[in-house]
Amino acid sequence: MIPRSARHDIEQWILSELKPSRSTTAEIIYERMESQSGEQLAVIYEPLDYRKRSHWHDVAICAAFAHAVRGARTVLDVGPGDGWPSLRIADRFDSVVGIDPSPRRVRVQKENAERLGITNVEFLEMDVDAMTFEDASFGGVTAASSIEQTDDPEKALREVFRVLEPGGALAMVFEDYATYFPESDGDEGLWIDTAGEEPVLFYQVRAKSPPRETWYALFLDGPALGGDAELSRIVESLSQDRQKLENLEHGHEAPMRPEWFDIGFFERLAPLTREAKYFDLGHLTSDTLDAILGDVGFVDARHLDYRIPELRSFFDSAEESGKLDGFARSFESISELFGIAAIRRAGFGPGGFVIARKPGQAGP
């Protein structure tokens, strides 16, 4: 077990000795990913397959997004990652505009759109909390696990409200921290990413009350690291499958030795650390999100379970009974019905998919 005091000491040591500069998720995380989804998105990377439950869910959620903002001619998609759901819902609207602060993500989004032959989607490098669009530019806004990744979710939602037409809807998926992670008071993670030009050590600390998540990124001198056999061995272990060491109070098996979380390990890395950065995430719960939406000016906030458990049960039952092949041709239409039905059933929270409306009369 890693004592909480040890976690506190490591974090304080990083702050006092390495003096990390403040950064963003776009720079530290998403700029380093060639594919945010690991090239596993239905349609965008993989042909639709009725034998995969994740593909049923993808069709349903995209239908839910589209139904939630139905009636819009132009839709804004905040933080589309690899182009999701922008590229999956584009055929239902006149145009879709996706914005992302990461240049690499925008490049990937554009490449995916070109490869798929989708021409009514535009991807722009832009931060949601500093958009350059005029007021009331969009009939609908979608956001999939992106608002909570911003420095200031409330500021981001105020900007979304500004660019949304009166009567327009916001449909967003978010990580409800009340039911998401961590399971108890706090936990930590440690891994090294060697995908880029230089290895980066990530140290992550999370707490549930109050909601908080901080990532520290130590950019290491690769050649110098290679000259230390012991540290190189640890790096190799840490980089395999982005292994994380969770707080053993959660009942998880520790894939790495606890002594690697000793300050001495970080002290050995200090001379090899070229630069240190960090970012904070405040996180949202259904209650705090509803409060922010109300303060911003949104009305009629409704929630639904992002997992769409009814669809999961339907798929599992069909698979277990050997009837799944009978839905080979109709699974897309069935999945869409489940997604639309979930929107129609949406009510008070909690729930990781939320729909809210800007007051006023929608345009023609």
Written in H, E and C, the secondary structure of 259-282 is: HHHCHHHHHHHHHHEEEEEEEEEC
Q: For residue 223, is the peptide bond before it cis, meaning its omega torsion is within 30 degrees of 0?
A: no
Q: Is the pLDDT of residue 302 over 80?
A: yes
- pLDDT given for residue 363 in this prediction: 60
3-state secondary structure at position 201: strand
Backbone angles phi, psi at 129, to 5 degrees: -85, 10
Order of all β-strands in the sheet with 200-207: 21-22, 273-281, 212-220, 200-207, 186-193
Does the predicted TM-score (pTM) go above 0.75? Answer: yes
Distance CA 49, CA 31 (A): 30
How many C-beta atoms surround the C-beta of residue 315 within 10 A? 24
- pLDDT given for residue 179 in this prediction: 77
Element (DSSP H or E) covering residue 299: strand 299-304
Q: Which of 296, 325, 285 is nearest to 179 (CA)?
A: 285
Average pLDDT, integer, range 170-198: 79
Taking each helix axis from N to C end, the angle separating 331-345 and 309-320, rounded to the nearest 10 degrees, works out to: 150
Percentage of the chain lying above the pLDDT 70 cut: 88
Distance CA 35, CA 104 (A): 9
Backbone angles phi, psi at 150, to 5 degrees: -85, 165
User: Look-up: residue for tokens 């990532």?
Assistant: 215
Q: Which of 114, 111, 159 is nearest to 136 (CA)?
A: 159
DSSP state of 237: H
Mean pLDDT value across the chain: 88
- pLDDT given for residue 131 in this prediction: 98
Distance CA 322, CA 311 (A): 17
pLDDT tens-digit series, residues 238-253: 665 444 433 333 333 3
Average pLDDT, integer, range 314-336: 97
Domains and CATH numbers, the chain: 4-23+181-281 (no CATH), 53-176+284-357 (3.40.50.150)
Q: Which of 315, 306, 190, 204 is nearest to 254 (CA)?
A: 190
- pLDDT given for residue 52 in this prediction: 97
pLDDT tens-digit series, residues 203-215: 988 887 777 889 9
Looking only at Cα atoms, what is the longest distance across the chain? 68
Average pLDDT, integer, range 137-145: 97
pLDDT tens-digit series, residues 108-132: 999 999 999 999 999 999 999 999 9
DSSP state of 20: P
Spell out the residues 6+ positions from residue 89 whose beta carbon is closer than 8 angstroms to its own.
62, 65, 66, 75, 96, 142
Distance CA 189, CA 199 (A): 16
Q: Higher-confidence residue: 133 or 229?
A: 133
Taking each helix axis from N to C end, the angle separating 153-163 and 286-296, rounded to the nearest 10 degrees, works out to: 50
CB contact burial 140-169 (16+ within 10 A = b; e otherwise): bbbbbebbbbbbebbebbebbbbbbbebbb
The answer to whether the CB of 173 falls within 8 A of the CB of 339 is no
- pLDDT given for residue 253 in this prediction: 39
- pLDDT given for residue 182 in this prediction: 56
pLDDT tens-digit series, residues 41-89: 999 999 999 999 999 999 999 999 999 999 999 999 999 999 999 999 9
- pLDDT given for residue 231 in this prediction: 79
Order of all β-strands in the sheet with 138-144: 121-125, 95-100, 74-78, 138-144, 164-173, 353-357, 299-304
The answer to whether the CB of 208 falls within 8 A of the CB of 4 is no
